[in-house]
Amino acid sequence: MVKDGKICNSAAILFGKDLIDYPQSMIRLARFRGLDKKEFIDNRQVEGNIFELVDAAMSFFFKHLSLSGKTQGRIVREDELEIPYDALRESVVNALCHRAWQYETSTIGIAIYDDRIVIENAGKFPANLTPSKLTDEEEQNDENTSLPPNPVIANIMFISGLIEHWGRGLSMMNNECTRVGLPEPKISDNGSFVKVIFTRPTSKEEHKLNTGRTQAEHKLNTSRTQANVSLESININIEKIIRAIGENWFSMNELLEIMGFKSRSTFSKKYLTPSIESGFVQYEDTSNPTSPNQRYGLTVKGKAIYYSNK
């Protein structure tokens, strides 16, 4: 990211704070009423580096998509964004990683409609590499299935944890949507722009509750109510650990250091255990909670709190 003692464009895109010379470092976020672009419910543009743009996109999703919980068995309650969180985040990260950054007049767009979400970015798939190849298991064994047009940016995003699996993002998005009973996202490439389209779930019960308000308004009010209840119901200790963890995974010792604690027992009793029992923090290794290598991260419900003030 430094050449001949000078900062390269990739460094600015990734870590810059004053991006006046990089107008393409922006994301357009819109929530439309209905199925077309005739009327806005919410419309904004956010400037920032790649990490800030990912946060802005995820915060927008939490604001406008429903978060619901389901009970598995008698004990575990699992919260789920209406379109799986990991699939949405992967799509946003891919758009930022693979976009044509040289086009200063183009920006990444995210549009939420009543029936779908559209994420678009300037760029195209590499020659001889199609979405179907990237989701084919045999093709994925080929190291050439990941050919980022911005290798420096892609490598830093991989090191930082934004990219978790080279060349496997589309498969993960498909699998996540299938897991919750949604169609696989549709991907199109017209040679100038790549679009990813997620289908939003429909609900007969939701239509019954719709008395004069549009489906979009009902979803928006529902998601806001859920967020407010969550914020009011958690104590300050849980909120602190949520802010400390964010999008990362940390060991017990790392959390102790980050939050300034020396006593493991006090930290566990007042912070970690209540956060896990309340469903905001989860084990990385769920099969062995007491593993010495255990790490902790946020659940989707915890991430909703994390992004609520972004």
Among 30-34, 163-167, 225-229, 288-292, whose mean pLDDT is lowest? 225-229
DSSP 8-state code for residue 213: S
Q: Dmax of the chain from CA atoms?
A: 65
Between 189 and 222, the more confident residue is 189
Predicted confidence at residue 308, as pLDDT, reads 81
Three-state secondary-structure class, residue 27: strand
Three-state secondary-structure class, residue 169: helix
Nearest-angstrom CA–CA distance, 28 and 47: 9
Write out pLDDT tens, residues 267-289.
999 999 999 998 999 999 999 99
Distances (CA, A) of 143 to 79, 267, 270: 35, 44, 46
Predicted confidence at residue 233, as pLDDT, reads 57
Q: Is the pTM of this model over 0.95?
A: no
Which helix (H) or strand (E) segment is 69 a member of?
Answer: strand 67-72
Write out pLDDT tens, residues 149-177.
788 888 888 888 887 666 677 888 999 99
Region 70-74: mean pLDDT is: 51
Q: What is the dihedral of CA 184, 189, 193, 196, to 10 degrees?
A: 0
